[in-house]
Amino acid sequence: MAQEPAPPGASISLPGAWQAFLAGGPSTWSAWRSPPFTLPVRAALQTLIGGDPAMAAANPLVQYFAWRRSLNPARFDRYHPFLGPRIPQGFIPPSPPPPVTPPSVPQVPIPPVTPPVPSVPPQVPEPSAFMVIAVGAAGAFAMRRRSRP
């Protein structure tokens, strides 16, 4: 019994970083930078767009490049002259979901039970400047008298 060949794109394997990136969909595509466009990824993309257009349109890698092209077709085609025209025609990439805003609930401030008491550090009385000078001079005079024989 002869086995039928697998259709192009059925056995496309991508590096793990690309699989995780593509699985995130347009919300991830618009928020994160894509992994490096390496030779295996390029070969997979060329295999996909060279095969069945319906299968290519259903593949996340082709969906990603169609989404990228939809951002600025002229720029995309200038940098990818062979890839741009080969992306399935009429394919509309999925649009990112609208942002979800939670309903606003007015916040009612709760009044304090007791009025706030300002914290004031305790005040320590300080001696006057004259008293400090007088005690210092008297101590110096007493020390001088003791040191003389």
Q: What is the pTM of this model?
A: 0.52
Q: Cα separation of 41 and 18, whole Å?
A: 8
CB 76 within 8 A of CB 68: yes
In this structure, is residue 100 part of a structural domain? no
In-domain check, residue 97: no
CB burial string 23-36: b at 16+ within 10 A, e below: eebeeebeeeeebe
Does a structural domain hold residue 44?
A: yes
Give the Cα separation of 92 and 114 in Å (integer): 63
Is there a domain that residue 102 lies in? no
Q: What is the pLDDT of residue 24?
A: 86
pLDDT value at position 137? 92
How many whole angstroms separate alpha carbon 94 and alpha carbon 66?
9
Give domain status of residue 120, yes or no. Answer: no
**Number of structural domains in the chain:** 1
Q: Give a yes or no: residue 37 inside a domain.
A: yes
pLDDT mean for each 10 residues of the chain (149 residues): 41 76 86 86 82 77 85 86 73 62 76 71 80 90 79
Write the DSSP string, 47-95: HHHHS-HHHHHHSHHHHHHHHHHHH-HHHHHHH-TTTGGGSPTT--PPP
Q: Which domain holds residue 46?
A: 16-86
Is 111 domain-assigned? no
Is 113 among the domain residues? Answer: no
